[in-house]
Amino acid sequence: LRNCRICKKEAIVYINYANISLCSEHFIEFYERKIFKILKQLDLRNKCILVALSGGKDSVALLFALYKLQAIFNYKLKVLHIDLGIGDYSKRSLEVSAKLTEKLNIPLIVFDLKKEFGWSIHDAVKIIRKPACSICGLVKRWVMNKVAIENECDYVATGHNIDDVNTFVLKAMLTYRPEDIIRLPRPILKPNLEVKLAGRIRPQFYATERENLLYTLVNGLDTVSIECPLARDAKSKKYRQIWEEIDKVNPVGKINFVNTIIKIIDKLDTGEMSDIKLCKICGYPTYSRDICTFCSMRMRIDSKLKNEES
């Protein structure tokens, strides 16, 4: 580690893809500028952003950065924590989320799956034969959108990082899932309130996992350190290791990789968004079907639980 490129004080981090060393103060500035660049693509004055806070490093860093940038953009912040009902992991996640929102004085909306649906993710994974994270992801997406619409929020902000995105793309390519690539998460998705679809912002799209963690550390923020016990996607971890190797060869590779993919899919007309309808059950958007994927799954879980009772 050399000295900070900007102030020559002792550096705390070396950012390989930019070839700079930074002290904590200038790292904070560097990180927030990255978030700023995504947000400035939108006119956020008087808009409401619902931040999905899990208590993990990504979402804690996200909320804190959005809190700090609020004065520049003049948006309103609300926070959603989804209680997934996954044992101690969920208890600790709620604790961290409650403490942080209290400290920042931002209202916290807690959506407790067990209370709202009668089942938790822990219950759902025993019934639905799909990977836990895909069930959980589906439920979270539906809940985030519903809570955003009900609370008059224009956007949902979530804490993805470039390592997540790259692992997702690499895995989709190597397992031949072109449809996943076409539906790649983007930094910004505009709202379509006519069909009750809140917008999406992923302000940390170009931030690495390590930068998110470091941002929480330099700001003295508490995060959940236990891992979700349902996270069994060992394959994703291996794909992540491949990225570490690529990183050594070409530190800008991660950014170039995802930007190449985005450029290609932007040229395709997938026609996906044109076929949007409202789900006959929940009234939220669905693509091409009458009943959304979430409601179909919910019906299966409910009927299974009812059968078990009788």
Residues that bind ligand SF4 (CB under 6 A): 84, 121, 132-133, 136-137, 228, 230-231
Q: Which of 39, 80, 121, 295 binds Zn ion (CB under 5 A)?
A: 295
Q: Which C-beta is closer to ligand SF4: that of 58 or that of 154?
A: 58
Nearest to 160 by CA among 169, 152, 151: 169
Q: Which C-beta is closer to ligand SF4: that of 127 or that of 195?
A: 127
If one asks whether residue 279 binds Zn ion (CB under 5 A), the answer comes out as: yes
**Residue 137 interacting partner from Zn ion, ligand SF4, none (CB closer than 5 to 8 Å by kind):** ligand SF4
Q: Which C-beta is closer to Zn ion: that of 7 or that of 18?
A: 7
**Residue 52 interacting partner from Zn ion, ligand SF4, none (CB closer than 5 to 8 Å by kind):** none
Q: How far is the CB of 169 from ligand SF4 (least distance, A)?
A: 18
Residues contacting residue 302 through CB under 8 Å, at least 6 positions apart: 118, 119
Q: How far is the CB of 94 from ligand SF4 (least distance, A)?
A: 13
**Residue 65 interacting partner from Zn ion, ligand SF4, none (CB closer than 5 to 8 Å by kind):** none
Give one DSSP letter per residue of 203-216, joined into a string. Answer: TTTTS-HHHHHHHH
If one asks whether residue 217 binds Zn ion (CB under 5 A), the answer comes out as: no
If one asks whether residue 282 binds Zn ion (CB under 5 A), the answer comes out as: yes
Contact 275, 287 (CB under 8 A): yes
**Residue 118 interacting partner from ligand SF4, Zn ion, none (CB closer than 5 to 8 Å by kind):** none
Residues contacting residue 155 through CB under 8 Å, at least 6 positions apart: 42, 44, 47, 48, 49, 50, 148, 191, 198, 199, 200, 201
Q: Which of 13, 15, 26, 212 binds Zn ion (CB under 5 A)?
A: 26
CA gap 90, 97 in Å, rounded: 10
Q: Which C-beta is closer to Zn ion: that of 6 or that of 128?
A: 6
Partners of 302 in beta bridges: none
- Indicate the residue type of 46: N
Q: In the numeric block, which tokens belong to residue 22?
A: 């930074």
Residue 265 per-residue DSSP state: H
Candidates 115-123, 170-178, 205-213, 293-301: pick the segment binding Zn ion (CB under 5 A): 293-301
- Indicate the residue type of 294: F
If one asks whether residue 264 binds Zn ion (CB under 5 A), the answer comes out as: no
Strands (E), the chain: 13-15, 20-22, 48-52, 76-83, 108-112, 155-157, 188-189, 199-201, 276-278, 285-287
Residues in contact with Zn ion, counted by CB under 5 A, come to a total of 10
Q: Which C-beta is closer to ligand SF4: that of 44 or that of 132?
A: 132
If one asks whether residue 292 binds Zn ion (CB under 5 A), the answer comes out as: yes
Binding site for Zn ion (CB under 5 A): 4, 6-7, 23, 26, 279, 281-282, 292, 295
